[in-house]
């Protein structure tokens, strides 16, 4: 991941050094041209200090706030973003500025047109996958290698079913409702997935491995 240029670190450190006592900070990385029109002004109206700088293809800001204001800032970002945005974890140590910048970039990489604002701490599986592309690809090969001889459409059906099952409480009935199929169809697909991968969905560790591999496929 790109290191923060000295000029960026310098400007962000300058703001951090002037933060009111009890304030923490987060770094925001947005697509450039700015995906956040007038966002700095809107923060100022809320009495939230921020500093921003353009990089090639990137618009980077440091936002100083109290921890209980984080959701308010994220909501404001979601309402105003016109492009993809990544948000770092909240820190109170200026020595973590460069780390915060890198994590904001990683969150930006996970953002999509459908879900343009990504908070690093709120999607840990996706962030784990994006942290090292080579490791993520190896995880896919190890965990999902048994699906390689399937047709792309068949493979996608199994993975889409796993994705729906993992976000619908592991319930075949809820998953079926989401996918508009019969619960027995969901169970059949999941059994095929278990047979192909050699991983049981009744084993928490196996489920974690499958979902991590799924995230890696989706992030590729």
Q: Do 144 and 79 fall into the same domain?
A: no
Mean pLDDT confidence for 161-174: 94
Tokens 């492009």 correspond to what residue?
83
For the chain, the domain total comes to 2
Residue 8 has a pLDDT of 64
CA gap 34, 134 in Å, rounded? 31
Band of the pLDDT at 51, cuts 50, 70, 90? confident
Give the range among 40-49, 142-151, 159-168, 188-197 with minimum mean pLDDT. 40-49
Mean pLDDT confidence for 168-188: 96
Q: Do 102 and 66 fall into the same domain?
A: yes
Mean pLDDT confidence for 197-209: 95
Residue 219 has a pLDDT of 76
Q: Does the residue 128 lie in any domain? A: no
What domain range includes position 25? Answer: 6-122
CA gap 181, 158 in Å, rounded? 13
Residue after which a domain boundary falls, among 122, 157, 190: 122
Q: Does the residue 69 lie in any domain? A: yes
User: Under a CB-based contact definition with an 8 Å cutoff, are residues 87 and 75 in contact?
Assistant: no
Q: Does the residue 127 lie in any domain? A: no
Residue 161 has a pLDDT of 96
46 cis-preceded (ω within 30 degrees of 0): no
Residue 109 has a pLDDT of 86
Could you write out the DSSP letters of every residue in 121-136?
A: GG-HHHHHHHH-HHHH
CATH of the domain at 17: 3.30.70.2750
Residue after which a domain boundary falls, among 122, 146, 161: 122
Q: Do 140 and 87 fall into the same domain?
A: no
Q: Do 84 and 168 fall into the same domain?
A: no
Q: Specify burial of residue 201 (Cβ count, 10 A radius: 0-12, 13-18, 19+).
A: middle
């Amino acid at each position: 991941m790109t290191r923060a240029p000295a000029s960026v670190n310098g400007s962000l450190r300058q703001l951090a050094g002037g933060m009111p006592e009890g304030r923490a900070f987060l770094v925001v990385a947005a697509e450039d041209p700015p995906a956040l029109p007038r966002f700095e002004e809107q923060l100022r109206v809320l009495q939230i200090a921020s500093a921003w700088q353009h990089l090639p293809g990137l618009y980077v800001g440091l936002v100083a706030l109290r921890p209980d204001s984080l959701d308010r800032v994220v909501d404001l970002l979601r309402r105003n973003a016109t492009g993809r945005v990544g948000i770092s974890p909240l820190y109170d140590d200026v020595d973590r500025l460069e780390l915060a910048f890198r994590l904001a970039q990683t969150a930006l990489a996970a953002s999509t047109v459908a879900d343009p604002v990504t908070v690093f701490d709120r999607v840990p599986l996706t962030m784990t996958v994006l942290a090292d592309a080579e490791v993520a690809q190896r995880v896919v090969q190890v965990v999902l290698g048994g699906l390689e001889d399937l047709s792309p459409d068949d493979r996608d059906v199994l993975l889409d079913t796993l994705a729906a099952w993992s976000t619908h409480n592991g319930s075949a009935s809820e998953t079926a409702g989401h996918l508009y199929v019969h619960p027995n169809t969901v169970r059949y697909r999941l059994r095929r997935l278990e047979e192909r991968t050699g991983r049981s969905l009744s084993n928490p560790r196996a489920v974690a491995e499958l979902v991590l591999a799924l995230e890696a496929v989706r992030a590729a």
